[in-house]
Amino acid sequence: RGDFPPNYRHFAGDRKETQDLLVRIVKWWIKETDVDGARLDAIKHLAPGLLPHLTREIREYAASLGKKNFWRVGENSSGVDEEVVPFLGSQGVDSVYNYTSYRRDNRALHGQAATVDLSESFEKSRRIFGPLTGALLRFLDNQDTYRFLRTNEPIELLKMALGYALFSTGIPFIYYGTEQAFRQAVDRLDPEGPDLPADPRNREDMFEEGKFKSESSVGDKFDQDSPMFKRFAQLAALRREHGALRRGEQYVRWADSGGPGIYAFSRIYGDSEVLVVM
């Protein structure tokens, strides 16, 4: 089908031989690497019928290998909730990236907007996605967005935002390097767009002799003693310890409407309640 803008090949996904080849490739990776899930890229651009066919074949093949709960996450970078809804819980997709909340939450998490934006964003997600809100993949940054932490921002800002990512409703996704406080190459809060590329120089090597480095990734960054890694480990341990932080219903307790300030919410699961104050 020629080029998919700006510079990618667009598969003829409506052709059986193309579908068979894609299925064969995914099966090979599952078998060779023993992964427990797969990310399906740019699902909104796939040919009609390809996504359910691909996810069904993946599930059946994984089950034949003993993987009864193989996880399939779809990538749809739309900032409109209603455009994401049709993919979640249907066509064989277990989860999708929560780009809509990411775009709504980013300024408030940086202290550049009122924290009521966070509560309104959450309520909008819950209103549109309903019980599937908890299946959304919550993230602060990924390979196609600018890294959360800007050049001169204090590391405490990322520590706070990580708590939000790990404790708020959804499945937390932590992009590699975030746990080592990698910083973006520009000074940007707005989403990627036509004026700046969607691959914003944030796929650095973490190993010392890597060719592709940024100022914040210089050296050996597999450091389990760094302050950011230790905080991430602490937060992850809390999430693991308290079922309410993984499965609980979320209730907003406080949000400032006049500007940056406190954001507090509870997660309640059974007779257990955890109060999170940011």
For 204-214, write each residue's pLDDT tens digit.
999 998 899 99
When pLDDT is cut at 50, 70 and 90, the band that residue 1 belongs to is low
pTM: 0.91
Instruction: Supply the pLDDT for residue 5.
Output: 67
From CA 94, how far away is CA 87, in angstroms rounded? 9
Closest CA to 214 of 187, 193, 184, 194: 184
Q: How far is CA 126 from the centre of its chain?
A: 17
Instruction: Supply the pLDDT for residue 197.
Output: 72
Tokens 């249907």, located at residue = 90
Least confident among 27-31, 41-45, 125-129, 224-228: 41-45
Question: What are the start-end ranges of the H helices in 137-221?
Answer: 155-167
Averaged pLDDT for residues 49-75 = 94
| β-sheet bridge partners, residue 4 | 8
Instruction: Supply the pLDDT for residue 50.
Output: 92
From CA 133, how far away is CA 150, in angstroms rounded? 29
Give the count of beta carbons closer than 10 Å to the beta carbon of residue 271: 6
